[in-house]
A and B are shown apart, each in its own frame.
Chain A
C-alpha cells in the first residue's frame, strides 16, 4: 500500500492538477477584479477638457495644475480612500495606497501648495459636486453624462 506523505502531496501528480486548478481560479478572480477596476474621469463642462492623456490626468489629480486652459480653478473630487473605488483610484492613478494618498495631500496642503481634494462616500454625491462646481474633475467607475458633466476621454477611451 502506497503511503501518503507530505512530500508526495506537495509533489505528486494530483498536486499538479490541484495547483493548476488553484492558479486558474486565481487568474479568473484577478481578471474579474481588473474588469471591475476600470475608472472614468468626469468633468464639469466648464473647465475640464473633453479629452486628456493619462499623464495629464495624473498631473491634474496630483494637484500640479492650478487652472484649466479657460482659467477656471481645478477642483478635484475623489472617492474616500477607504471605499473600494477610492482604493482603486489610489492604486491605479496615483500608484499609492490609500494612506499614502492621504499623506500626500496632507503634506501638500500643509505646504500651502494646493487646495485639498473633496472626498466623497458615494458616487452620486461626487457626480452632483462635479455638476455644481465649474472646474471640477472627478473619478468614478463608469462613464456617465448628465447636465453640466461630461466623461473625459483618456487616451481616446471613455474608461481606463
Chain B
C-alpha cells in the first residue's frame, strides 16, 4: 500500500507528461574573430548549441553544449556540456531546478552564458576568465522570479562544488549558492549573492591541484541597466579564501561596462576590469590585473552582431597585452 502511495504521484506525472504536446527547439551561437596583437590572426570561437524543450505542462529542459578548439584533444576539438537543466514548476513563479547550471552568482554568468551575439563586449570580463567565481554548479535548488511589485527573484542551489566531476562529488562538502535580485524599474536589475564551498586538498580545479583545503566565501553584487540609450553593467566579487596555513586572504574583482546607443544599431562602449589579490593568496593564481576595453558594436539584427574592440591588459607578472579584435557573432 505504501509503495502504491509512493508511486501514485509519479504515475500522474507520467500520464500528464505523456498527454502533453512536446515542443523542442534547437538553436545556437557561433563567432568568428580576427585579431591583431603583433601579428594578424583569424580564428573561430565556440560553437554553442542549445536545446529547449517543454516536456510537460510543468517540466522543461534546457541543454547547452559547446564545441570548441582544444589543443590537447585528439581531434583538436573538445565537447563541453555547459548546462543540463531540468526545471519543474512548483507553483506560480517558483521552480525546482536540477542539473548543471551556470552558477547564478552574477548577472553576466547567468544571462549571457556562451551566446556571444548577446555579449555587450567581445569577451567575458576578467572576473570570469580568471576563474574567480565557479562558472558551473551541478546540483539541485529552487528559484523564483518576478515576485511582487519589486519583481523580486531568488536562487538557492546546493551543488557538488569545485573539484567534483560531472558525475560525482569528490568530497562530502557541498557548495551553497544563495542569490537575490530585484527589478525596481524597467530595464534595471540589482543583484546580491553569496557562495560557500569547501575545496578539498588534492582536488583538481581548473586543471590545477589544490594543495590545501580551502574554505571559500564569495560575496557578489551587480547592477544592470540596459536602457533605450544608455547601457550600464557593473559587478564586483569579494572572495575570501581560508586555509589553515595562510589564514583568510581577500581578493577583489570587478568590472564596469558602459555603452551608449548613438543609433538603434550602433553602440560605442567601454569596459574597465580590475582584479586585486591579497599577498599570500594561494588558491588563485595571483597576478593582479587591470584591463581597459574600448569598442564599437554594430547590431545588424538580433541574430548578427559585429564588434570591433581595442583591449589593453596590465599584468602584475608577465607582459602587458595590447590587441585589436574584430568579431562577427551570430545566432541561428
Contact = CB atoms under 8 A, between A and B. Distances in A.
Q: Do A and B come from one complex?
A: yes
Interface in B46-89: 50, 52, 54, 57-58, 60, 62, 83, 85, 87, 89
B118 A103 contact: yes
Interface string A101-128: 0110011011111011000000000000
Given A65-B146, A66-B92, A99 B25 contact: no
B93 A110 contact: no
Interface in B294-325: 299, 301-303
Contacts of B186: 95
B264 interface: yes
Interface residues on A, range: 20 to 34
Contacts of B151: 64
Contact of A110 (B57, B60, B118, B146): B118
Interface residues of B, number: 34
What are the 4 tightest A-B residue pairs by CB atom distance, in nearest-first order? A103-B302, A64-B146, A112-B62, A102-B302
B159 interface: no
Interface in B247-294: 264
Interface string A82-109: 0000000000000101011011001101
B134 interface: no
Interface of A: 59, 64-67, 73, 95, 97, 99-100, 102-103, 106-107, 109-113, 115-116
A106 B303 CA distance: 9
A97 B263 CA distance: 12
Find the residue from A97, A112, A116 having the highest chain B CB count within 10 A: A112
B115 interface: yes
A47 to B, nearest CB: 12
A111 B111 contact: yes
Contacts of B213: none
A112 B57 contact: no
B264 A115 contact: no
A107 B145 contact: no
Nearest to A104: B302
Contacts of B92: 66-67
B4 to A, nearest CB: 26
B38 to A, nearest CB: 36
A106 B111 CA distance: 11
Given A65-B146, A95-B228, A109-B52, 10 more contacts: A64-B93, A67-B89, A67-B91, A99-B302, A102-B303, A107-B115, A112-B60, A112-B87, A115-B23, A115-B52
Nearest to B83: A112
B268 to A, nearest CB: 18
A97 B54 CA distance: 28
Contact of B57 (A73, A97, A116): A73
